[in-house]
Every structure is written in structure tokens, then in C-alpha cells.
Amino acid sequence: MKKIKFGTIARYTLLAIGGIIMIFPFIWMLISSLKTWAECGSMPPTWWPKDPTFENYVYAFKTAPFLKYFRNSLIVTVVCTSITMINTILCAFTFSRLKFPGRDLIFSIMVSLMMIPYEMLIITNYTTIVKLKLYDTLAALIIPFTSSIFYTYILRNFFLSIPDSLYYSARIDGASNWQYLWEVMVPIAKPSLVTIGLLNALTCWNSFMWSILVVGSVENRTLPFGLFAFTDQAGVRFERLMAGSSIVVIPVIILFLFCRKQIVTGVSKGGLKG
Amino acid sequence: MKVTIKDLTKKFASRDKTGEMVTAVDTLSAEFESGKLIALLGPSGCGKSTMLNMLSGILPVTSGKIYFDDVDVTDLSPDKREVGLVFQNYALYPHMTVLENICFPLKIKKVPKAERIEKAVEIAKMVHIEDYLKRLPKELSGGQQQRVAIARALVKKPKLLLLDEPLSNLDAKLRVEMREEIRRIQRESGVTTVFVTHDQEEATSISDYILLMKLGVMQQFSATREIYNNPGNLFVADFIGNPTINQIHGTYTADGIKADGCDELIPCAIKANEGDRVVFAVRPEAVIFENEKNTVNATVNDLYSSGKDWLVNFMIGDTDLRGYCDADFNVSEGSKIKVGFKEKGAFLFNEATGERY
């Protein structure tokens, strides 16, 4: 039998402990959401629900319109991410390939804007939204976040690393700038784009503070806000809270499982952190 | 298609503080015959790639005109010129398979899918890559990538094919093989082709015409044999030919050339003005050994075997020279011999201007 080195065992043990610490809260949430109230509060806690029940989920869906929240979150995330991606791609192309006077100066100014903290923008954004009469609409959740200097910066740097000869080659092959962008550059940048898209989608999905500020009615709540409101309705019934939380988290986990490979390669290639 | 270049000039803003413009190509005029293979040859930095980029439309010209078959294309953008260009690094689209790469120019032209695949496969057969159509560029060797790049350039039936240092990324054996391939493909497709190279051997082995440049100025533009047999100036004579041409510096007299560091007169049939400082240039194959008439004393330095004959390195006075002799010629290092020069392959140049007499 092959001898297993001590170092290997130590490494795997450490990794396993780390993994368990990371994943435990999620597992506990899922387990708790399947317990009854009595079991959830019992001491000592049980590992596996004696009598697994989906009652808490039924309650959650009955009390709060989670499906509506889900739909709102989905609309905001999809629309916001799509517009951001198109903006980012066009902007990155402009600042990496097209030549016009003052290009680098304009880009430096844009990059320096990243230093302004998000919290400082909240009040101005809020007044703008109110003045545009967009208060309490889904558009209010989308419009302020349809461009990202950070993502533009990352993508521009990636575009700059693509050799000029590919551009000239495509031009000689008869492609216009527009065709070159979509037929050559975007497919090559796909790993970076997937990463940017996923990070952006996650930010949209989890956005909480802004939606509390600009959305009032139940009609336009997104999932995080809805969950926040649900905590009031659920009171101290932790098993119900856990069911609500699971409803919010599960779609994201499914998305991650499907796109795990792209996220990992994208993050390691693009040098991005989530 | 015939290509006519008239007074083509390209100036770049210099990077230093003086702000003076650097001239990369200086008022160059030439006419490339239809269906020929033309080599743009010169040492690095001579402006040959700049020339190619102006022909393709990537670089705008500073002044002068380019005509394709009498149509002025000087201000046309690259996508409208109908040229094919193969880059030094091949510039294949890394995310597309070989077939998709070759199809790309047709896809842009909106050729129906079935038709473009048919055309692409036809071209792929011509460059012998039909077995690799499903592969990605990174799964191909350098030579195969180059064939793909040529196929992609040819598939849209360009009027002019441009190759930028097409062989410099290949190993020695493949280079010889590929240059013959380029010749064959050019013959089969009949497309006017211009290729850039700094290797005179590459240029002389496959091209019909050679345009030799130095510091942006055209030195000579003539048929390949002609540029070897009849160099216009000393730079051309020195650049073309391997081993390089022998050069004897000296003073011209009516009886012969008084070479520096040598007491004898070297007989020379070419006429110049008495007392001119000249360079007597002789191709190694124009050196004759053991010739009784018109001979000069020389000392053998070294001998190299080059298969059927010897390459002899010898001295006349202070000048180091090389020549070919038969393998059974009896010499060794240090032997005193007599050498003469044939008239064909010997040229006389002005030492200061490099101009030929």
C-alpha cells in the first residue's frame, strides 16, 4: 500500500475543518428550517429533525409574498446585470481600442471616482430618484447601478492584453470595429465577462440598504428586503425564519453550483476577488 | 492585380524631445507586376514592415499614393482594400477552430454557411491542413498555424496577399519547407504577393522580384537574379549573397587597383578615375585559384569543407577574402597561392558614396 505522508494528512484535516466551519451555518439553517418549533428550541439540539416538515416553508410563502419578492429580485438582477455588462463592454472597448484626444485623462478621472465611498452617494442618488419620480418602483433599484467603473477598469485591462495583430487581422478580414468587438474580443474575454457578470448579479441580488431606502410598498420589495420584513412577521419563530432565509439563499447556491468552474477560473485569471 | 506605389512617404513623430519627425519610408516608388512574388528585403528598421502596413491600410500614409490596378486606394480603410495579411505571429483567433478561423472573412461578408464551409475546405486542402479543421490554433504546430493563417488570408480571394516575416517563427528545417510551400501556394492561387523578410537567402530563394531597402530608402528593385548579378551599389552587393561578397579597399590606377596593405596591383577590367578611392567587390565564386595570368599572391588562412568543395579563407595584404575551390585542390593553412578574379561577379564601387562604376 502506498504510504500516506503526515503532511498530506495534516493538510487535508485543516482543509476539512475549514470547510466544515464555512458550510455549517448553511447546513444548520437548512436543518432548522425542517424542524418543528418545539424541536428547534429543544436542548440539547437534535442533529436531524425527528419529524421533517415543510410546514415552515408553507407558512413563509403564506405570510409573505416570497414569490413576488423572488420575481422582483430576478427582474432587478437580470435587467441590471445585462445593462451593466453591455455598458462595461462598450466602455472598455472605447477606452482600450479607440483613439481620441483626452482618452486616458477621461479614464483616469473615471478611475479616481472609485475613491468616493458608496455611502456618500446614497443621499444624492436618493434625491435624484425622488426628483425623477421613480420612488417606490423597480426602476429605482436598477438605474443607479447600470454602470461600473471597477468592472470597466478590469475589462479594459484585459482588452489591452489582447495583441493588436488580432485587431488588424480582423479589420483586414473585413470586420468593422463593432463586428470585431462582438465576434473576437467578447468571446476571448468570456471568462472575465462571466466573472464580472456573476459578481454583479450577486451584488444586485443581495442589495439591501438601497432597496429599503427607495422601495416602500410590498409590491416592489426584493428578497433581502422581504426577508427583513418577514423577520417582523415571524417574530421569534426561528424555524420559520430559517425557512425564509433558505428561500432567499437557495437560488444563489444553485447558480453557484452551475457556474462554479467559470467563477473559479475567472477569479484566478482576472485577479478579481468577490 | 498590379500594385503601383508613387512617392510613398511615412513619417513618425519621434519619441525624443526634439520633436523631429523620423522618416520610416522615404519617397518610394515602385510597380509590382500582377501575379508575381515580391520580397521586401532589408535589415531591421529599414521600413519594410511600415511599407507592408501601408499597403494593407493599417497605417495611414504621410504622403504619396498607392494604386491597385490604377484605382487609388491610399485612403481606403483595411476592410475595404481586399487584401489578405499574414502576421508574423499569425494572429489566429484563439477561440475559433481552424475551420471557423478560415470561415471568418466569409462570415463577415455574409456568405451563406454551406458555401463558406465549402470554400474554406477547398483552401484548407490547398495548404494541406484539411485534417486539422476541428482543432483550436493552440493545438497546432507553428508551421500548421502559419498554413491556417495563409488559408484565412486567401479564402476571400484577395487581390493582394501580404506576408509579414512569415518564416521567422519557424525552425530552420521547417523554414526551408514552408518557403517552398509559400511559393507553391502563390503559384497555384496566382495572387500578387508581397512578403517582408530580413533574410536575403529567403528572399532570393523564392521571390520573382526583390525590393531592397535601407533606412527607408529603396536601394534597388529588380528581378531576383538581376539583383545578385548586377547590384546597383555597394550596400546591395554586400547584402545579397551568402557567403557575403569580398571587399578590397584601395586606390584606383589605370594598371589595376592598389589594395591597402598590399604591394601588388590587382588587375581590374572596370574603368574608374585615376586616384579614386574604390572598393573592389568580388563574389566568392568569382575567385579563381592557380591562375597563371592576372594573378595576385595570397596566403591561405583557413579551410572549411562545404561538401563538394572547399571554402578557402585567404589574405591579400591586410584584406581577408573568401573563395571556393575544388576539394582536390592541394592547399593547407599557411600555403602561399596565386589567385585571380573572374570578370563576372566582380564589381567596382566608389568607397565614399557606394555607387557603382
pLDDT of A116 higher than 70: yes
Residues A237-255: pLDDT tens digits? 788 888 888 888 887 788 7
Q: Say if the ipTM goes beyond 0.85.
A: no
Q: Is residue A140 part of a domain?
A: yes
Average confidence (pLDDT) over A267-274: 52
Residues B134-155: pLDDT tens digits? 999 999 988 889 889 988 988 8
> What is the C-alpha to C-alpha distance for residues A178 and A190, in angstroms, rounded to an integer?
17
In terms of pLDDT, which residue wins out, A264 or B126? B126
Q: Is residue A3 part of a domain?
A: no
Contact B91 A174 (CB under 8 A): no
CATH number at residue A62: 1.10.3720.10
Residues A122-140: pLDDT tens digits? 888 899 999 998 888 888 8
> What is the C-alpha to C-alpha distance for residues B192 and B36, in angstroms, rounded to an integer?
5
Non-local (6+) Cβ contacts of B92 within 8 A are: B101, B137, B145, B148, B149, B152
Question: Contacts of residue A192 in chain B, CB cutoff 8 Å?
Answer: none
Question: Contacts of residue B85 in chain A, CB cutoff 8 Å?
Answer: 168-169, 172
Res. A270 pLDDT band, cuts 50 70 90 = low
Instruction: Report the gap between the CA of A96 and the closest CA in chain B (Å).
Output: 17
Instruction: Report the gap between the CA of A173 and the closest CA in chain B (Å).
Output: 5
CB atoms inside a 10 Å sphere around CB B311: 15
Burial, B355: exposed, middle or buried (Cβ in 10 Å; 0-12, 13-18, 19+)? exposed
pLDDT of B349 higher than 60: yes
Q: Is A269 on the interface with B (CB under 8 A)?
A: no
The residue type at B169: N
Let me know: does B142 contact B170? Beta carbons within 8 Å: yes
Instruction: Report the gap between the CA of B156 and the closest CA in chain A (Å).
Output: 8
- Structure letter (DSSP) for residue A35: S
Given A172, A179, A188, which is nearest B85 (Cβ)?
A: A172
Contact B95 A168 (CB under 8 A): no
Given A163, A174, A184, which is nearest B105 (Cβ)?
A: A174
Lowest mean pLDDT among A148-152, B197-201, B331-335, B341-345: B331-335
B320, B256, B262: which is closest to B287 by C-alpha?
Answer: B320
| Alpha-carbon radius of gyration of chain A | 24
Q: Is residue A208 part of a domain?
A: yes
Q: Is B152 on the interface with A (CB under 8 A)?
A: yes
Question: Contacts of residue A179 in chain B, CB cutoff 8 Å?
Answer: 108
Question: Phi-psi region for residue B356, left (φ > 0), alpha (ψ -120 to 50) or beta?
Answer: beta
pTM for the full predicted model? 0.77
Domains and CATH numbers, chain B: 3-239 (3.40.50.300), 246-350 (2.40.50.140)
Res. B339 pLDDT band, cuts 50 70 90 = confident
Q: Is residue A259 part of a domain?
A: yes
Question: Contacts of residue B153 in chain A, CB cutoff 8 Å?
Answer: 172
Contact B93 A179 (CB under 8 A): no
Residues B62-86: pLDDT tens digits? 888 899 988 888 888 888 888 989 9
Q: Is residue A49 part of a domain?
A: no
Q: Is residue A197 part of a domain?
A: yes
> What is the C-alpha to C-alpha distance for residues B304 and B199, in angstroms, rounded to an integer?
23
Q: What is the pLDDT of residue B294?
A: 66
Given A166, A171, A190, which is nearest B78 (Cβ)?
A: A171
Q: What is the pLDDT of residue B291?
A: 62
Let me know: does B247 contact B279? Beta carbons within 8 Å: yes
Q: Is B136 on the interface with A (CB under 8 A)?
A: no
Residues B257-277: pLDDT tens digits? 888 877 788 888 888 888 888
Q: Which of A39-48, B8-17, B85-94 has the highest mean pLDDT?
A: B85-94
Q: What is the pLDDT of residue A273?
A: 43
Lowest mean pLDDT among A60-74, A165-179, B53-67, B192-206: A60-74
Residue numbers of the domain that contains A248:
54-270
Non-local (6+) Cβ contacts of A14 within 8 A are: none
In terms of pLDDT, which residue wins out, B136 or A62? B136
Q: What is the pLDDT of residue A140?
A: 87
Q: Is B119 on the interface with A (CB under 8 A)?
A: no
The residue type at A196: I
> What is the secondary structure of A42-94 as a DSSP string?
-SSPPSS-SS---HHHHHHHHHS-HHHHHHHHHHHHHHHHHHHHHHHHHHHHH
Residues in A 189-208 with any Cβ partner in B closer than 8 A:
190
Res. A1 pLDDT band, cuts 50 70 90 = low
Q: Is residue A148 part of a domain?
A: yes
Q: What is the pLDDT of residue B292?
A: 66
Which chain A residue is nearest to residue B81, measuring alpha carbons? A172
- Residue with grid cell 437560488, as numbered in its chain: A251
Contact A174 B152 (CB under 8 A): no
Residues A143-192: pLDDT tens digits? 888 888 999 998 999 999 998 889 999 998 888 899 999 999 999 988 88
In chain A, what percentage of residues exceed pLDDT 90? 24
Q: Is residue A20 part of a domain?
A: no
| Tally of structural domains, chain A | 1
Q: Is A50 on the interface with B (CB under 8 A)?
A: no
